[in-house]
């Protein structure tokens, strides 16, 4: 029997997370806080990824209990608004602390995802979308942006 979609997703999340980390290697505080992606620096990219981990870990925990992932009255439709809120919350946080938070929230997110039953992970279903959108897909998108920026800057 081959790997399940859940296993594939979690393995891909781990691989892409490692690749994202490698893209961050060697950047100093000045480079991490230099604005280049609209109004964002690498620190802001990292902070908003961690922010989504923090919001979506409880959503996965609720799914694992058979509940709706998002509580009544909460909406994530305004993605840009949430992104900015997550980035703004860490604008004065030292880079090392933001990177530690990324690691901590990534681990918690994968733990929460691992607790969701495998049958909930069909492609396009809620659990699959939450995990893919907030891990492998998200890491890859921003890794590529950071890699291209570093290439253009020669760093």
State the average pLDDT over residues 10-20: 97
A 10 A CB-CB count for 53 gives 23
Which residue segment(s) compose the domain that 111 sits in? 5-153
d(CA 60, CA 135) in angstroms, rounded, equals: 13
pLDDT tens figures, 54-104: 999 999 999 999 999 998 999 999 999 999 999 999 999 999 999 999 999
CATH number at residue 79: 1.20.120.450
A 10 A CB-CB count for 103 gives 12
Q: Output 133 or 124, whichever has higher pLDDT.
A: 133
Sign of CA dihedral 24, 27, 30, 34: negative
Report the candidate in 63, 70, 71, 53 with the shortest Cα–Cα distance to residue 117. Answer: 63
pLDDT computed for residue 122 by the predictor: 86
Instruction: Indicate the average pLDDT of the chain.
Output: 94
Q: State the angle between helix axes of 126-134 and 5-24 in degrees (0 to 180), rounded to the nearest 10.
A: 20
Banded model confidence at residue 2, pLDDT cuts 50, 70, 90: very low
State the average pLDDT over residues 39-49: 97
Tally of domains in the chain: 1
pLDDT computed for residue 1 by the predictor: 42
């Amino acid at each position: 029997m081959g790997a399940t979609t859940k296993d594939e997703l979690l393995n891909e999340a781990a691989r892409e997370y490692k690749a994202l980390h490698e893209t961050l290697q060697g950047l100093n505080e000045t480079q991490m806080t230099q604005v280049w992606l609209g109004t964002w620096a690498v620190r802001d990219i990292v902070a908003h990824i961690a922010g989504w981990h923090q919001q979506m870990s409880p959503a996965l925990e609720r799914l694992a209990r058979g509940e709706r992932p998002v509580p009544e009255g909460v909406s994530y439709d305004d993605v840009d608004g949430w992104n900015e809120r997550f980035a703004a919350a860490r604008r004065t946080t030292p880079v090392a602390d933001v990177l530690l938070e990324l690691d901590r929230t990534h681990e918690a997110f994968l733990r929460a995802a691992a607790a969701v039953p495998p049958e909930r992970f069909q492609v396009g279903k809620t659990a699959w979308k939450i995990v893919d959108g907030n891990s492998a897909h998200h890491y890859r998108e921003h890794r590529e942006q950071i890699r291209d920026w570093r290439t253009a800057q020669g760093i």
